[in-house]
């Protein structure tokens, strides 16, 4: 829980800077800038380096691109992970007070099964909504993280084009955001019907 | 078969210690039906949960022994208790709508009970057939359809039958029924009681029926125990209790049942409120509401006294045998 | 499940309680419970101290936050070699005292957080309550509009609007409120819809109470606890958002101290003078953490209590 709170409270960009200072500068383990070292750049198939390196069986490139993924993902993901932790915890607390959990215990099920099978299924319902929204948000790109880690991403593109008054680009990216949001919500709704049999599409 | 001796369960809340179950002693032989009567909040449900060791936080069973077929259940660890729960002793709850898990279909919930206790020696197909048989046993038609229904698709009576099917699945020796009929309407109530009676006769399962409805008790139980504020105030056979109640509380309960045709008199009620269990007064807990109270009732703890064969009362109006 | 019935002693039966006394009793009980929950209490204390320090900034800060002193450029904090006790947390790249800048920056952050939440909370709750109660076309239009606003990432939307209206404190607040009312709208609307099905609303309608009265007197007091929790948590979010915007150079303009721009100006010196970026971030972290702790504690206190009541 402490981790969860820290994750929400630390602004993502500051966390990124801290991680850079700690890992890359002082400990020199993880790479800081860019998506992959120039020497390892895989052949361009899809444009996504991890996928390309798997497809072209370029294992050094795979390792390198994965390493480059670690720090940005942690800075971006810490806050989101914290949000999910919080929501899941509070819905679990509510679910564990319910009568059907007591029934499951009365049936003689082990505590592990009670929690993972009976309680979790029900607690995931509100959590999945949040996850869906977050996926939409994350795919939308976070400009600051991209700037800090030097990833040429959608966020940076949009902001630059806003400043340059390049409106067609802004239009296109707005369309893209809307599309992702709708897709994420649709996925969440479909998952919902699987989790909660009372709802139908 | 079941002998509860001086069971004590306390709830340690920040407002004080609530003695929900204070020295309960009960006895049940094979195939007997015991009725546990009392108002809401007197500790009946907690008694049942204590037997199974499922008292929720912040409650804790602090004292007493529960002897079930020669073994003290309170000394068992959680893992050992799991052998008993659902297998030898099952429980039925009050509101089937909230008790059944809404995301699984009912067949799965019954099957789960079988899966846990038979250690998977029965094949999947056999389990499904067993579930069908159980659904038929509790009086529901077309088991194939019911199997894949979700709880919200069934009516209250059907849901309660499913709960009973879950309880029956491993042929338990004892069924703890926590107000199984309170959430249902009267006609369904009668059906469920018939079902329980059938189970009691055919399989020989003992039943502890917790209820606040004396009518149900009169119809169904053989022995009765009346609870008030965490203690048992009267025990006896059902005819004795219903026709010759001794304790003033039991008398009050029986008098407050409205009788059809008795238009003139007001409905009798016991004056006062249920006491705050965290701050119980010294002596008899029923003292402020009792019409026959005496000053000496407040002085000391009143013990449960045997006044006839099989009859016990916790009241200073009666002398010990 | 065990149902425990805890009643109050009957001694209060014959005393007439005026409304004011009951509210005061509730506040006292609330404070008592707040003290019991240690993390929330800690959060509350830290937040209050931040607010106090921010208000008393001119008296507390050791230096003028705008005064540059090239001599003390990039001086490290006092526990590192080269640091001095006059610049407790070090100095930034043109020699301004970091501690004083943090204290003054707290003003900005806290103000932005509180004002935004207050305005957008009020507006969002109002609109959401009416939308949830009356439904119909009003509700449909507003909900679609809210969904539309939600589909943009927050930061990009804010940057977009900023580039149109330009930087500045007032503009910042307006832009933040523009998107933020949606959260309150959704929450109050959802709660209103579920509360409306309950029986006490039917009872009030049967008594002939006007709809507006029902909304404000009956339903709103019941949903205010979840709204309060949301508000507390959003304050932290907006403080971070403001920091992000000033990090990018939008929002509060230099030389007014703002934590985000402090972090940004320290980026160039990450390797040599790490404290310029790190320490404002730590201040941010502590403040937002305390606000979140307070919010969580509020949720723990207000929710189960209402269930007991």
**pLDDT tens-digit profile of B96-105?**
888 888 888 8
Highest-confidence segment of A81-85, B14-18, C288-292: C288-292
pLDDT at position C10: 41
What's the rounded Cα separation, in Å, for the pair A70 and A128? 24
What's the rounded Cα separation, in Å, for the pair C32 and B260? 52
The CA distances from residue A15 to A18, A79, C234, C263, in Å, are: 5, 10, 19, 11
Would you give the distance in Å from CA B161 to the centre of its chain?
Answer: 17
- 3-class SS of residue B90: strand
Strand B33-37 and strand B174-178: the pairing is unpaired
CB C94 within 8 A of CB C154: no
Which class for B116: exposed (0-12), middle (13-18), buried (19 or more C-beta within 10 A)?
A: buried
Contact with chain A for residue C152, Cβ under 8 A: yes
CB A10 within 8 A of CB A2: no
Q: Which stretches of chain B are DSSP H helices? A: 44-52, 78-84, 96-99, 106-117, 124-137, 143-147, 156-168, 186-203, 214-220, 238-243, 248-255
Give the whole-number percent of chain C exceeding pLDDT 90: 0
The CA distances from residue B232 to B44, B180, B293, B308, C300, in Å, are: 10, 21, 18, 16, 37
A73 vs chain C: nearest CA distance in angstroms? 17
What's the rounded Cα separation, in Å, for the pair B93 and B95? 6
CB B61 within 8 A of CB B8: yes
pTM of structure:
0.74
Residues of C in contact with B59 (CB under 8 A): 2
CB B170 within 8 A of CB B205: no
What's the rounded Cα separation, in Å, for the pair B44 and B39? 9
Q: For B65-92, what is the mean pLDDT?
A: 82
H-helix or E-strand containing A124? helix A120-139
Q: Could you tell me the end-to-end alpha-carbon distance of chain C, in angstroms, rounded to an integer?
A: 18
H-helix or E-strand containing B35? strand B33-37
Tokens of A108: 């003689």
Residue C131: pLDDT band by 50, 70, 90 thresholds? Answer: confident
B248 vs chain A: nearest CA distance in angstroms? 34
What's the rounded Cα separation, in Å, for the pair C195 and A98? 21
pLDDT at position A25: 64
For the cut 80, the answer to whether the pLDDT of residue C53 exceeds it is: yes
Q: Give chain C's mean pLDDT.
A: 76
Q: Do A17 and C267 touch (CB under 8 A)?
A: yes
Q: Which stretches of chain C are DSSP H helices? A: 19-36, 38-55, 57-60, 98-134, 136-150, 154-165, 169-196, 199-206, 211-213, 220-247, 259-265, 275-308
How confident is the model over B219-273, as pLDDT tens digits?
888 888 888 888 888 888 888 888 888 888 888 778 777 666 666 666 677 777 7
Give the whole-number percent of chain B exceeding pLDDT 70: 93
Residues of A in contact with B78 (CB under 8 A): 111
- 3-class SS of residue C6: coil
pLDDT at position C11: 39
Q: Do B274 and C9 touch (CB under 8 A)?
A: no
C163: nearest CB among A21, A163, A181: A163
B152: nearest CB among A100, A122, A198: A198
The CA distances from residue A99 to B182, C90, C290, in Å, are: 16, 58, 35
What's the rounded Cα separation, in Å, for the pair C113 and A11? 14
Q: Do A6 and C293 touch (CB under 8 A)?
A: no
A2-195: CATH number:
1.10.3720
Contact with chain B for residue C6, Cβ under 8 A: yes
Four-point Cα dihedral C34, C36, C37, C43, nearest 10: 60
For residue B44, which of B286, B276, B250, B230 has the smallest C-alpha distance? B230
pLDDT at position C128: 86
Q: Count H helices, E strands: chain A? A: 10, 0
CB A39 within 8 A of CB A75: no
DSSP state of B104: S
What's the rounded Cα separation, in Å, for the pair C8 and C308? 13
Spatial CB neighbours of B215, under 8 Å, sequence gap ≥ 6: B257
Range name among B237-241, C4-8, C185-189 with the lowest pLDDT average = C4-8
Q: For A69-95, what is the mean pLDDT?
A: 79
Q: Do C6 and B56 touch (CB under 8 A)?
A: no
Residue B321: pLDDT band by 50, 70, 90 thresholds? Answer: low
Range name among A32-36, A50-54, B40-44, B154-158 with the lowest pLDDT average = A32-36
CB B164 within 8 A of CB B196: yes
The CA distances from residue B306 to B227, B234, B285, B318, B321, in Å, are: 16, 10, 19, 9, 6
- 3-class SS of residue C74: coil
**Per 3-state DSSP, what percentage of chain B is helix, strand, and coil (rounded to 5)?**
35, 25, 40
Residue B53: pLDDT band by 50, 70, 90 thresholds? Answer: confident
CB B154 within 8 A of CB B142: no
CB B241 within 8 A of CB B311: no
Q: Give chain A's mean pLDDT.
A: 76
Contact with chain C for residue B272, Cβ under 8 A: no
pLDDT at position B320: 63
Give the ipTM of the model, two decimals please. Answer: 0.77
Give the whole-number percent of chain A exceeding pLDDT 90: 0
Residue A2: pLDDT band by 50, 70, 90 thresholds? Answer: low
What's the rounded Cα separation, in Å, for the pair B271 and B288? 9
Tokens of C218: 């009956």
C31 vs chain B: nearest CA distance in angstroms? 15
Contact with chain A for residue C267, Cβ under 8 A: yes
CB B206 within 8 A of CB B2: yes
Q: What are phi and psi of B91, to 5 degrees?
A: -130, 140
What's the rounded Cα separation, in Å, for the pair C142 and C139? 5
How confident is the model over B136-190, as pLDDT tens digits?
888 888 888 888 888 888 888 888 888 888 888 888 888 888 888 877 888 888 8
For residue A51, which of A37, A39, A36 has the smallest C-alpha distance? A36
DSSP state of B75: G
- 3-class SS of residue A96: coil
Q: For C277-289, what is the mean pLDDT?
A: 84
For the cut 60, the answer to whether the pLDDT of residue C9 exceeds it is: no
| Torsion sign over Cα B199, B200, B204, B206 | positive
For residue C30, which of C292, C287, C225, C236 has the smallest C-alpha distance? C225
How confident is the model over C57-95, as pLDDT tens digits?
777 777 777 777 777 777 777 777 766 777 777 777 777
DSSP state of C75: P
pLDDT at position C15: 44
Spatial CB neighbours of A40, under 8 Å, sequence gap ≥ 6: A58, A60, A61, A64, A65
pLDDT at position A76: 80
Residues of A in contact with C248 (CB under 8 A): 143-144, 159
What's the rounded Cα separation, in Å, for the pair C39 and C274? 30
Best mutation site among C4, C13, C33 for testing chain B: the one with the most B CBs within 10 Å?
C4
Neighbours of A19 (CB within 10 A): 20
Tokens of B311: 């009859």
How confident is the model over A58-81, as pLDDT tens digits?
777 777 777 777 777 888 887 788
Which residue's entry shows tokens 């042929």? B171
Tokens of A131: 């996850």
A107 vs chain B: nearest CA distance in angstroms? 4
Sheet holding B59-68, edge to edge: B16-28, B2-13, B59-68, B71-72
A143: nearest CB among C156, C270, C299: C156
Q: Which residue of B has its CA nearest to C3?
A: B41
DSSP state of A145: H
Tokens of C69: 């002193």
Q: Do C159 and A143 touch (CB under 8 A)?
A: yes
For the cut 60, the answer to whether the pLDDT of residue A116 exceeds it is: yes
Task: Write down which chains contact chain A via at least 3 CB pairs under 8 A.
Answer: B, C
DSSP B279-315: SPPSS-TTGGG-TT--GGGGTSPPPPEEEETTEEE--
How confident is the model over A22-39, as pLDDT tens digits?
776 666 666 667 666 666
What's the rounded Cα separation, in Å, for the pair A84 and C205? 40
Contact with chain B for residue C1, Cβ under 8 A: yes
Neighbours of A100 (CB within 10 A): 23
């Amino acid at each position: 829980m402490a981790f969860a709170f820290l994750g929400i409270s630390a602004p993502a960009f500051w966390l990124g800077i801290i991680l850079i200072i700690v890992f890359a500068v002082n400990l020199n383990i993880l790479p800081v800038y860019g998506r992959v070292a120039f020497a390892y750049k895989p052949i361009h198939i899809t444009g996504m380096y991890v996928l390309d390196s798997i497809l072209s069986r370029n294992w050094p490139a795979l390792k390198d691109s994965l390493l480059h993924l670690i720090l940005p993902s942690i800075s971006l993901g810490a806050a989101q992970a914290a949000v999910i932790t919080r929501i899941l915890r509070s819905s679990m607390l509510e679910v564990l007070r319910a009568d059907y959990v007591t029934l499951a215990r009365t049936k003689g099920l082990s505590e592990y099964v009670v929690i993972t099978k009976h309680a979790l299924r029900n607690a995931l319902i509100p959590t999945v909504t949040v996850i869906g929204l977050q996926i939409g948000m994350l795919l939308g790109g976070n400009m600051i993280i991209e700037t800090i880690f030097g990833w040429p991403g959608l966020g940076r593109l949009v902001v630059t084009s806003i400043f340059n008054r390049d409106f067609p680009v802004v239009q296109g990216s707005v369309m893209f955001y809307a599309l992702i949001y709708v897709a994420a919500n649709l996925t969440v709704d479909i998952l919902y019907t699987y989790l909660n049999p009372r709802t139908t599409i | 078969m079941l002998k509860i001796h001086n069971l004590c369960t306390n709830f340690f809340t920040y407002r004080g210690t609530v003695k929900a179950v204070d020295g309960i002693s009960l006895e049940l032989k094979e195939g007997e039906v015991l009725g546990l009567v009392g108002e809401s909040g007197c500790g009946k449900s907690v008694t049942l949960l204590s037997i199974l060791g499922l008292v929720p936080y912040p409650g804790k069973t602090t004292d007493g022994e529960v002897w079930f077929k020669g073994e003290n259940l309170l000394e068992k660890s959680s893992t050992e208790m799991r052998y008993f729960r659902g297998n030898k002793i099952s429980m039925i709850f009050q509101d089937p709508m909230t008790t059944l898990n809404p995301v699984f279909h009912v067949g799965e919930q019954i099957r789960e009970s079988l899966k846990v206790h038979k250690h998977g020696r029965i094949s999947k197909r056999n389990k499904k057939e067993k579930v069908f048989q159980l659904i038929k046993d509790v009086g529901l038609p077309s088991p194939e359809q019911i199997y894949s229904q979700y709880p919200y698709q069934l009516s209250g009576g059907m849901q309660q039958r499913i709960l009973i099917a879950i309880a029956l699945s491993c042929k338990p020796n004892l069924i703890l029924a926590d107000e199984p009929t309170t959430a249902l309407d009267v006609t369904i109530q009668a059906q469920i009681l018939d079902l329980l009676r059938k189970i009691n006769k055919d399989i020989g399962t003992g039943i502890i029926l917790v209820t606040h409805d004396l009518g149900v008790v009169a119809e169904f139980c053989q022995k009765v125990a009346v609870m008030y504020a965490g203690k048992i105030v009267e025990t006896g056979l059902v005819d004795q209790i219903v026709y010759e109640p001794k304790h003033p509380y039991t008398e009050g309960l029986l008098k407050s049942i409205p009788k059809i045709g008795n238009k003139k008199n007001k409905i009798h009620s016991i004056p006062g409120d249920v006491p705050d269990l965290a701050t119980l007064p010294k002596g008899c807990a029923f003292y402020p509401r009792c019409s026959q109270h005496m000053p000496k009732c407040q002085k000391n703890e009143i013990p449960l006294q045997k006044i006839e064969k099989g009859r016990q009362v916790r009241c200073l109006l009666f002398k010990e045998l | 499940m065990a149902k425990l019935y805890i009643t109050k002693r009957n001694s209060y039966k014959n005393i007439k309680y005026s409304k004011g006394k009951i509210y005061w009793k509730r506040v006292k009980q609330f404070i008592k419970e707040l003290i019991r929950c240690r993390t929330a209490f800690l959060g509350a204390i830290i937040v209050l101290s931040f607010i106090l320090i921010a208000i008393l900034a001119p008296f507390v800060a050791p230096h003028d936050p705008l005064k540059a002193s090239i001599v003390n450029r990039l001086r490290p904090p006092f526990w590192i070699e080269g640091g001095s006790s006059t610049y407790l947390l070090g100095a930034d790249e043109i020699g301004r005292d970091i501690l004083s800048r943090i204290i003054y920056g707290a003003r900005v952050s806290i103000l932005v957080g509180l004002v935004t939440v207050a305005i957008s909370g009020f507006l969002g709750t109002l609109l959401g309550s009416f939308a949830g109660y009356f439904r119909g076309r009003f509700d449909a239009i507003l909900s679609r509009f809210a969904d539309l606003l939600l589909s943009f990432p927050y930061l990009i939307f804010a940057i977009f609007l900023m580039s149109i209206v330009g930087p500045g404190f007032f503009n910042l607040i307006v832009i933040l409120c523009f998107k933020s009312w949606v959260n309150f709208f959704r929450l109050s609307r959802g709660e209103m819809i579920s509360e409306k099905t309950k029986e006490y609303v039917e009872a009030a309608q049967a008594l002939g109470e006007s709809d507006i009265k029902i909304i404000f007197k009956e339903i709103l007091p019941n949903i205010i606890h979840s709204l309060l929790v949301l508000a507390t948590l959003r304050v932290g979010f907006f403080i971070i958002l403001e920091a992000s915007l000033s990090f990018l150079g939008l929002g509060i303009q230099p030389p007014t101290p703002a934590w985000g721009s402090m972090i940004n100006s320290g980026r160039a010196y990450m390797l040599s003078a790490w404290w310029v970026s790190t320490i404002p971030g730590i201040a941010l972290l502590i403040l937002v953490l305390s606000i979140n702790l307070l919010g969580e504690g509020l949720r723990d206190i207000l929710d189960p209590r209402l269930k007991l009541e």
